[in-house]
Structure 1
Amino acid sequence: MAKFVFVHGAGHGAWCWYKVLPRLRQAGHAALAVDLSSAGISTVDPNEVRTLARYSQPLVELIEFLPQGDKIVLVGHSLGGIVVTYVMEKYPTKCAAAIFVVASMLPSGPKAIEVRDKAVMSGFSEIVDRFYTKGSEVPTSSRLKPEHHQPVLYHLCSSEDVELANLLLKPNPLLPPSEIAVEYTKEKYGSVPRYYIKGMHDRVIPAAMQDYLLENNPPNGVLELASDHSPFFSTPDELVKALVSIITSLK
């Protein structure tokens, strides 16, 4: 039995994994999802979250309270890949594996920003609303404009899932570039088995740009889904099958 811990992407929360968690439990695995700081039911103001450590705090607390000897399988979606990267370097002995689902899987250090900026759909910055905390000259949070939710994030999803997301999506912290450029090492981050699941019809990180991510930070293995940017909604059965196949391959 594997213990999966799911990390959502920008604007989302633990709620986005609602189809995946019960399917994994039915397959005999433990599975839970976290709300990062300011996400989901968190009452933290996203404009006040200025460091990756603060944003990741709920996941870090979960890991620090794991029983001695327990290991988890981290699964990160989209921006959640940055959080997974941070935790892999911080707690490598607690991670049985890390799985990036159409996620930011970036190289270490400053090059991360260059790669991140290239691996995103053309014109994305033009369909985002930005918010400023009082006294700030740079935006401190952002969200995708509502009219772009369905065509950009969920174009293969049911109308019910799109409606759920429209009700629950929140602005996400805009972390400074220095926080996104996580420095990691071969001895820690590199010791954790790492896999990537591609969404072949993703519009946020198109398939060719996902290949660019893979070229700059090759994982142990790559799987493909016929999904959009949100396989937890559009292809949950196939996503669970992919997750289980990865865990099975580790045995």
Structure 2
Amino acid sequence: MATFVLIHGAGDVGWYWHLVAAELRARGHEAIAPDLPCDDDSAGLPEYADTVVGAIGDRTDLIVAAQSFGGFTAPLLCDRVSVELLVLVAPMIPAPGEAPADYWTHTKFSEQVRVRYDDTIALFYQDVPPELAAEALNRARTQSEARMGEPSPLETWPNVATRVLIGRDDHLFPADFLHRITQERLGITPDEIDGGHTPALSRPHELVDRLEAYAAEQGLLGGP
């Protein structure tokens, strides 16, 4: 059995991971998916990390999976709790000391050749079943921008095994963009999964297969 800590993206809730969490539990693992204080103007990245650390408690040997903007919170956990593996899914990958508001300029996102989608469903949930996409929109929260200009407290990328998984048809972060950023910032090649930006809703079983495979590569699942 392994303990998976699941971190949602901007303006979202832990419910985003509910299908993945259920599948992980069905396979004998523990899954923790806290709600970050993303709609609280007084909360910044340190408070996001505090929230996750509080949800973890005294658990150890953790596998942390973070989606999208959750990539800014995930590496901050490694100096505070026992993390064995980071898995970044369709992620933002912060540089040390980078403010979230500066990410777009620093990564030259505006220069990326991509189709523009004005519809939220088309941008984030194009391959999610309609009823789940509607529920996701209903549960979404407004992402506070109040502290997005503050530098991340991340001083260096943690010395923790890190994998990056990207969607081949991600409408927000195209695959070629994430290939470039992953190579530039982590020096590794990302893996790919079919679909878009929110595979925890569109492909939960396949995503769990990937998470288990990454954990097994690190010897974290035990076994006979």
With structure 2 as the length reference, what TM-score do the two structures score?
Answer: 0.85
Residue deviations 1:21-58, cap 9 Å, x none? Answer: 111112221112010114xxxxxx52332x21123321
Aligned 8 A contact 1:120 1:204 in 2: no
Q: CA deviation at 1:116?
A: 4.0
What are the residue-to-residue correspondences of 1:99-118 with 2, within 5 Å? 99-110=87-98, 116-117=104-105, 118=107
| Equivalent-residue separation in structure 1 for 2:139 and 2:202 (angstroms) | 17
Any stretches of 5+ residues in structure 1 without a counterpart?
A: 39-44, 128-146
Residue deviations 1:137-163, cap 9 Å, x none? Answer: xxxxxxxxxx72201000111101111
Inter-CA distance 81–119: structure 2 relative to 1 (3 Å threshold): farther
Give the one of 176, 184, 204 matched to 2:148. Answer: 176
Give the one of 183, 193, 197 matched to 1:215. Answer: 183
> Residue type matched to 2:35 in 1?
D
Q: CA deviation at 1:62?
A: 2.6
Q: Secondary structure at the match of 2:93?
A: coil
Inter-CA distance 123–37: structure 2 relative to 1 (3 Å threshold): farther
Higher mean C-alpha deviation, range 109-118 or range 240-249: 109-118
Q: CA deviation at 1:176?
A: 2.9
Q: Which residue of 2 aligns with 1:57?
A: 50
| Equivalent-residue separation in structure 1 for 2:202 and 2:3 (angstroms) | 23
Any stretches of 5+ residues in structure 2 without a counterpart?
A: 220-224
Q: Which residue of 1 aligns with 2:222?
A: none
| Equivalent-residue separation in structure 2 for 1:27 and 1:244 (angstroms) | 10
| Equivalent-residue separation in structure 2 for 1:220 and 1:208 (angstroms) | 14
Q: Which residue of 1 aligns with 2:58?
A: 66
With structure 1 as the length reference, what TM-score do the two structures score?
Answer: 0.77
RMSD: 2.6
Q: Which residue of 2 aligns with 1:83?
A: 73
Residue deviations 1:117-172, cap 9 Å, x none? Answer: 33647699x98xxxxxxxxxxxxxxxxxxx72201000111101111012111101
Q: Which residue of 2 aligns with 1:42?
A: none
Inter-CA distance 222–208: structure 2 relative to 1 (3 Å threshold): closer
What are the residue-to-residue correspondences of 1:134-149 with 2, within 5 Å? 148-149=119-120
Residue deviations 1:54-76, cap 9 Å, x none? Answer: 2332102234x215xx2211110
Q: Secondary structure at the match of 1:191?
A: coil
Inter-CA distance 247–193: structure 2 relative to 1 (3 Å threshold): same
Q: Which residue of 2 aligns with 1:194?
A: 162
| Equivalent-residue separation in structure 1 for 2:104 and 2:155 (angstroms) | 16
Q: Secondary structure at the match of 2:33?
A: strand
- Does the alignment pair 1:241 with 2:209? yes
Inter-CA distance 221–248: structure 2 relative to 1 (3 Å threshold): farther
Q: CA deviation at 1:202?
A: 0.5
- How many residues align? The count is 215
Aligned 8 A contact 1:152 1:204 in 2: yes
> Residue type matched to 1:61 in 2?
G
Q: Which residue of 2 aligns with 1:229?
A: 197
Q: Which residue of 2 aligns with 1:9?
A: 9
Q: CA deviation at 1:77?
A: 0.4
> Residue type matched to 2:62 in 1?
I
Q: Which residue of 1 aligns with 2:171?
A: 203
